Structure 1
Amino acid sequence: MIGALTLDQLRVLVAIEEAGSFSAAGRRLRRVQSAISHTVQALEEAQGVLLFDRSSRTPRFTEAGRALAAQARQVLRQADVFERTAQAISVGLEPELPIAIDCFVPTQPVIRSLAGLQAQFPDLTVTLYTEGMAAAERRVRDGSAVLGLCALLPSMEQELQATPLKQVTMVPVVAPSHPLASETRPITRDILGEHVQLILTDAQQRSGPSFSVVSARVWRFVDIARRLEFLLAGFGWGTMPRHLVQPLIDDGRLVQLTIDDSCLLPGSFGLFAIHVRSRPLGLGARWLLTELQGAAWFAGE
């Protein structure tokens, strides 16, 4: 019966298995052997299961006893996690940390920061949402994420707190097979407008938002990785974060365009960590935010 089961009984059972005998378990737990025997008998009677074969001088585990000792070890591990989590929550650690990250945020610094968070708070459950444009901010607003890492300065209503993290450099690129890659004239707005522009857009808004749209013909993408595939295939031109495309430029799979008008396209934009001002961050989120602020976001930093 589960109501009669105690953690102490399970600790005794595991101690016997690990130490090898009742007497050795008693020494480990600093109890007399008779107390160990009494605890085992009480457990057997309560559960209606014979845990030990006592036909010889030294009691030996039955098959059921060994199976239940393995179960007991799992229960004790979970009990330890429960206790540590309760203690952590009592000093301000959130029971769960949901984070939303948009597609412009570099992956490696986030991985390194989350690895540090895991080492610091091993029992903290982290839920990671990888999102398209505007979706990370939306999750923070609706409460499904505590912390959002997103590109572009959010529409700064009073409810949001935004912490600057890094500037991301944007570069216009095309595939080597695209006509713009071999264009000999200075590349102006009119010339760009002759070609399909591949842009990112918000999945929940049919026509936008659309930033730095120059061409009359656009293909809209929600997923930045999918857009990159179409850029590589030569379907159009578009601006991409330098940290994503520099290796492709270096090996000749993409060509960086030199635009004649620097006002046409953004040279860079900011990455921010955002949260709702009226919902104070827990211990884990505060630790992660500090770690992200000090992170090396790009090679050579």
Structure 2
Amino acid sequence: MTHDPMTPLTPPSAVQAPDADPTRSLWGPLARLPLWARGAIVAAVVVLAILLWQLTATFAVVVLITAIVAVAKNRPTWLKFASPRQAKVAIVVATVVAFAFSSVGTAVAGSTNSSNNSPAGFVAMPSETPSTTTQPSQSAQSAAKPSKAPSPQPSPTPVIEKKQVSVTEEIPYATSQQEDWNLESGLTQVAVAGVAGTRTITYEVTYTDGVETARVEVSNLVTTEPIHEVVSVGMYTPPAAFAGSADNGCNPNYADACVPNDPVDVDCAWGTGDGPSYFDGVARVVGSDVYGLDRDKDGYACERD
């Protein structure tokens, strides 16, 4: 016959009598108290357990672990379980108590946090006389407070760059006039065509952050000289139609003016010839240039170059 280690061996004399009162053995010394006193004690223990829910839940977990060890190793442990059945009952009861008091503690903590920071056990009561003092809103308080001046931010350093830039400009040509005795009066003719010149100017340009801020002239050189225009202005006024003849002393080979009919020679008055006769003017050669007065062979005698 084997003996259960969780079942203490008790002598036959210690076995409870069949007529023993189970209620008295459950309450022990408190069995003599009246029923209402025992109920009050039970209620006080329950209230104390609720108030100390953390300690109660911790104790229930300890009992749960001890009972599991007792069942696993078949030992009475420090709680002195009388039998495996008591250990299993202790596991169930400890599990229920730990879960129940954890839930109660969570509910109590949530109600405490939502009571507007009121002390535990007290309920905030509304004031009998409503306060007429208006509390400033948070935005008004923020506006009333002097704003903190922003700390000065360092200004960025400007990027300065210098470049040399060359610009080409046109130099206009001048126009001058000259008299042309071979050109009829009232007529003009371009003797020399004008051509504009060019000038190259170099500047040192300063850019600040990519924007031009200064320009200084470094050099100014004439690249191409301009060619001035020359216009010839006609000065010759042809005389009235005139046909020379021997009868009036004019040589018939010349017209528009009277060239002396000298049998020896006639020279232009403004020339270097030695005569003996001289002609002062311009005559048109209509025949043979017997005196050699039309040196450029353009049909006019004694015209100035």
TM-score of the two chains, using structure 2 as the length reference? 0.18
Taking CA–CA contacts closer than 8 Å with sequence separation of 6 or more, which of the two structures ends up with the larger relative contact order? 1
Larger Rg: 2
TM-score of the two chains, using structure 1 as the length reference? 0.18
